[in-house]
């Protein structure tokens, strides 16, 4: 007995959308870090080096420096990255700041 229509999923159901979101060369997520965190009072969304904070429906935007981009996953999103993963973000953080992405 099937309990849900989601039981009949195939790998292609995930791989094709994932390709266009993450792996396609023109995907905005392929060339710059992007995270989101929603809490009761604030929603944080950094894309590249711009941190957007939404509080009570009002958005504010702040440009992050390279070191802030590298520390944001842990400080803002409570995501601990390995040191080599953090360093792999450095060229992208610098490129975004220089306007190359």
Sequential DSSP letters for 25-60: TT-TTTSS-B--EE-SS-EEEEETTEEEEEETTEEE
Residue 61 has pLDDT above 90, yes or no: yes
Give buried/exposed letters for 61-76 (b at 16+ CB in 10 A, else e).
Answer: eeebebebbbebbeeb
- Residue 41 pLDDT more than 90? yes
Whether 94 is covered by a domain: the verdict is yes
Is 50 exceeded by the pLDDT of residue 100? Answer: no
**Predicted local distance difference test score (pLDDT) of residue 95:** 60
In a domain, 7, yes or no: no
In a domain, 77, yes or no: yes
Q: Higher-confidence residue: 24 or 64?
A: 64
Give the pLDDT confidence score for residue 36 in this predicted structure: 86
Residue with tokens 């710059």: 32
Domain-located, residue 29: no
Percentage of the chain modeled with pLDDT above 70: 60
- Give the domain CATH number at 62: 3.30.2140.10
Question: Looking at the domain assignment, is residue 21 inside a domain?
Answer: no
Domain span at residue 63 reads 35-101
Report pLDDT digits (tens) over 78-90.
Answer: 888 888 888 887 7
**pLDDT of 42 above 90:** yes
Smallest Cα–Cα separation from 97: which of 43, 37, 53, 51?
Answer: 51
Output the pTM of the full model.
Answer: 0.60
**In angstroms, what CA-CA distances link 63 with 34, 93, 101?**
14, 11, 14
Query: Is residue 64, in this structure, part of any structural domain at all?
Result: yes
How many Å is the maximal CA-CA distance in the chain?
Answer: 56
Least Cα distance to 79 among 42, 46, 30 occurs for 46
Domains in the chain: how many in total? 1
């Amino acid at each position: 007995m099937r309990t849900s229509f989601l039981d009949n999923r195939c790998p292609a159901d995930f791989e094709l959308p994932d390709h266009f979101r993450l792996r396609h060369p023109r995907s905005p997520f392929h060339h710059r870090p992007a995270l989101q965190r929603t809490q009761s009072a604030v929603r944080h969304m950094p894309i590249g080096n711009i941190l957007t904070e939404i509080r009570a429906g009002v958005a504010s935007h702040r440009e992050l420096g390279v070191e802030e981009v590298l520390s944001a996953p842990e400080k803002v999103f409570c995501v601990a990255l390995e040191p080599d993963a953090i360093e792999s973000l450095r060229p992208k953080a610098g490129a975004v700041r220089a306007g190359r992405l």
